Every structure is written in structure tokens, then in C-alpha cells.
Amino acid sequence: MSRVCELTGKGPMSGNNVSHANNKSRRRFLPNLNDVTLLSESTGKSYALRISAAGLRSVDHRGGLDAFLAKAKDDELSDRALKIKREIAKGQATA
């Protein structure tokens, strides 16, 4: 399982551990990923995603999964999220 947010594309970053004596050693900053289930209003289905805490706040801020995916860029989304975005677009077109 990769350490990348399915909605925002956030992944690991690298940096340094710096000691009191100013010694530097490489380290990784991992994103805060959580397994969540989000409900789509247009399709009525729930989707299990692995997203970052910041991504979850963005989904809430934009007004839900449907609104978030409508504004999201396709290159940032995972393959599963792109499939969900297409399903939601079909659901909104028929409604």
C-alpha cells in the first residue's frame, strides 16, 4: 500500500534530522493518512478511501465528496478516485 493520498496526491517528503550538535541525517516526513468512508450524494453509494487528514478537511470545506471531485484536477487523483469521479458525473447527468 503506497503512502499517497488518493484525493490530494500528497506523498512522503524528505528532509533532515538535526541534532543539538547540528549533525544532519536524512529522514522522511510521511503524510497523515487515514482510512475513511465517504458518502456520495448523487450516487447514494459509500466509498472507502485512504486520504490525508488535510484532504478530509478539504472535502468537508468544499461541501462533500461530490463537490470536491468536481473541482479536483485529474492528474492529482488516484485511479480509484478517477473512477468514482466518473460515476458521480454520470449520476449527476441522469438526475
pLDDT above 90 (res 30): yes
**At 69, is the pLDDT very low, low, confident or very high (cuts 50, 70, 90)?**
very high
Cross-strand bridge partners of residue 20: none
d(CA 5, CA 79): 12
pTM (2 decimals)? 0.86
* Chain mean position to CA 95: 26
The pLDDT of residue 95 is 73
What domains appear along the chain, each with residue ranges and CATH number? 13-94 (2.30.170.40)
Q: What is the mean pLDDT of residues 14-33?
A: 98
Which tens digit of pLDDT belongs to each residue from 74-85?
999 999 999 999
Give the whole-angstrom CA distance, residue 9 versus residue 61. 18
Residue 68 has pLDDT above 90, yes or no: yes
CA gap 56, 50 in Å, rounded? 10
* Beta carbons within 8 Å of 88's beta carbon, 6+ residues apart: 40, 42, 43, 65, 66, 69, 70
